[in-house]
Structure 1
Amino acid sequence: MEESEGKIYIDGIDISTIGVYDIRSRITIIPQDPILFTGTLRSNLDVFSTYQDHEILESLRRVHLLPSDEIVQIDSSLEDNFKIFSNLETSVSEGGKNFSQGQRQLLCLARALLRRSKIIIMDEATASIDFVMDEKIQKMIRTEFEDCTVLCIAHRLRTVIDYDRILVIDQGKIIEFDSPHNLIMNSESLFHKLCQNSDEYDMLKSLALTNKE
């Protein structure tokens, strides 16, 4: 889709002047409604047959769809829960409907880990994952994508509280753009009010302060 106005620059390059393939091959988008294709786990994670099996399985471990060896040894009952993901030939039905919404989102994250794009765009990428798993995934994102530019659309305040900058949008208009610390410490900011109205205000404030330090 062509832009209606303005320009988008990445590393000083106007993206309207280069091919669509060049853009798509260098940016990874993880949507709220995760996209999987009819085929196998392998064909969904490694679309162009670029990676070795051990690399694909490692990406599944990093998003907690497979346990680490230590976990399996400690609690063998967990093995059955993850067995389906240890076989890369496991069938994926149309749209990935044989997996839960949360599992599909984690598979898309695993695919992003393999691609190692420098720009990651996440649109409510963990919306269907419970808080405990979301916290683990957010820690993984901060570690694995440390050298990437991550643009994250999120409604969970905890998800973005330690990002470098937060853009607050209300009814389609930009309201605020600043660091989480500056926004939460400003009692007049909309972000501060959102945090204050949540049940996690003290924790969010602590995390924002820790990240600043």
Structure 2
Amino acid sequence: MVQLERINEFANLPSEAPETIEDNRPAKNWPDQGTIEFKNYSTRYREGLDLVLKGLSFKVKPMQKVGIVGRTGAGKSSLTLALFRLIEAATGQILIDGQDISQYGLFDVRSKLSIIPQDPVLFAGIVRENLDPFDKYSDQEIWSALEHASLADFIRSKDERLEFLITAGGENFSVGQRQLVCLARALLKKAKILVLDEATAAIDNQTDVIIQQSIHNEFNDCTVLTIAHRINTIIDSDMILVLDAGQLAEYDTPENLLQNKDSLFAKLVEESAK
């Protein structure tokens, strides 16, 4: 009966928006700037539940590096879900390069963004398939991405190289190596917008340094949103966005926020130092 109950639940789940809307596809080079703008944006996880993001309005300029901070439950991860349209708007809009992302299909939006998540996702298959599931890139491009992600030597040490079999969930890779595979995917994709969703929260300091250096060197012409677990990873961002209970509390440069000892960001920095 439990199985039947689950089947019934899945059968009645409302469908997501269509993958593509044939008469409204974005330009091939969209987004070519990487501007992100939230306009009075609110969302909830399900109809009837409370709003998790409330009236957010802010703009991220092309190539800016923005750190997103806030206490647990402030809405940091919800902002990422909203950008990828895993949850849809209750009110307001999200614009990328001036285009409302709700007017496009989900594939056309999500395929234009890169993410390095907190929990890296690897599936059972060879290295090449994990990095390039749609077979779009050459071996040379894949090796270049692995080099920049500091994984090339490890893959070369395997007899099968790019044909090396990754087990389900990446169990034959360390947690740090799994995260570097996600970094290599992002390097390969070369999207204009990269999201780091607490990507370094569960890894060792050495891997953290590799990821931070790669982002600094390889994504300098991209817009980067970093949801921070460790304050030191976003302290040198161009802008800091502080969320509090789903609302925009502060949005300014780190220098300006730290000079104001009453700012929420200054208090979060002080708490992290203890």
Among candidates 264, 267, 274, match of residue 190 of structure 1: 264
1:94, CA displacement in angstroms?
1.6
The code of the aligned residue for 1:114 comes to L
Q: What is the aligned partner in structure 1 of residue 46 from structure 2?
A: none
* Paired residue secondary structure (2:226): strand
CA distance in 1, matches of 2:172, 2:135: 23
Q: What is the aligned partner in structure 2 of residue 127 from structure 1?
A: 201
Pick the structure with more strand per residue: 2
* Paired residue secondary structure (2:133): coil
Among candidates 116, 131, 135, match of residue 49 of structure 1: 135
Are 2:200 and 2:229, in contact at CA under 8 Å, matched by a contact in 1?
no
* Paired residue secondary structure (1:8): strand
CA distance in 2, matches of 1:86, 1:113: 22
Q: What is the aligned partner in structure 1 of residue 232 from structure 2?
A: 158
CA distance in 1, matches of 2:198, 2:172: 21
Q: TM-score normalized by structure 2? A: 0.63
The code of the aligned residue for 1:7 comes to Q
* Paired residue secondary structure (1:183): helix
What does the per-residue CA deviation read over 1:5-34, in whole Å, with 9 as the maximum and x for residues that have no partner? Answer: 211111111111112121122111221111
Q: What is the aligned partner in structure 2 of residue 211 from structure 1?
A: none
What does the per-residue CA deviation read over 1:34-78, in whole Å, with 9 as the maximum and x for residues that have no partner? Answer: 1112111100101111222222122112122234xxxxxxxxxxx
Q: What is the aligned partner in structure 1 of residue 6 from structure 2?
A: none
CA distance in 2, matches of 1:190, 1:19: 37
Are 2:183 and 2:211, in contact at CA under 8 Å, matched by a contact in 1?
no
The code of the aligned residue for 2:124 comes to T
Among candidates 119, 133, 145, match of residue 59 of structure 1: 145
Pick the structure with more helix per residue: 1
Runs of 5+ in structure 2 lacking a partner? 1-86
1:102, CA displacement in angstroms?
1.8
Q: What is the aligned partner in structure 1 of residue 164 from structure 2?
A: 90
Are 1:31 and 1:122, in contact at CA under 8 Å, matched by a contact in 2?
yes
What does the per-residue CA deviation read over 1:69-116, in whole Å, with 9 as the maximum and x for residues that have no partner? Answer: xxxxxxxxxx7x962498111111122222222211110010000000
* Residue 117 (1) aligns with residue 203 (2): no
Runs of 5+ in structure 1 lacking a partner? 68-78, 201-213
* Paired residue secondary structure (2:90): coil
> Identity over the aligned pairs, expressed in percent?
52
C-alpha root-mean-square deviation of aligned residues, in Å?
2.2
CA distance in 2, matches of 1:198, 1:19: 40
* Paired residue secondary structure (1:98): coil
Among candidates 3, 7, 12, match of residue 93 of structure 2: 7
Distance of aligned partners of 1:85 and 1:171 in 2 relative to their CA distance in 1, 3 Å threshold: farther
Q: What is the aligned partner in structure 1 of residue 104 from structure 2?
A: 18
1:173, CA displacement in angstroms?
3.4
Are 1:65 and 1:85, in contact at CA under 8 Å, matched by a contact in 2?
no
The code of the aligned residue for 2:140 comes to H
* Residue 142 (1) aligns with residue 238 (2): no
What does the per-residue CA deviation read over 1:105-128, in whole Å, with 9 as the maximum and x for residues that have no partner? Answer: 110010000000011111011222
Are 1:57 and 1:86, in contact at CA under 8 Å, matched by a contact in 2?
no
CA distance in 1, matches of 2:185, 2:98: 27
Are 2:176 and 2:207, in contact at CA under 8 Å, matched by a contact in 1?
no
What does the per-residue CA deviation read over 1:167-212, in whole Å, with 9 as the maximum and x for residues that have no partner? Answer: 1223433322111111112111122122234449xxxxxxxxxxxx
Q: TM-score normalized by structure 1? A: 0.80
Which runs of at least 4 in structure 1 moved beyond 3 Å after TM superposition?
170-173, 197-200
* Paired residue secondary structure (1:5): strand
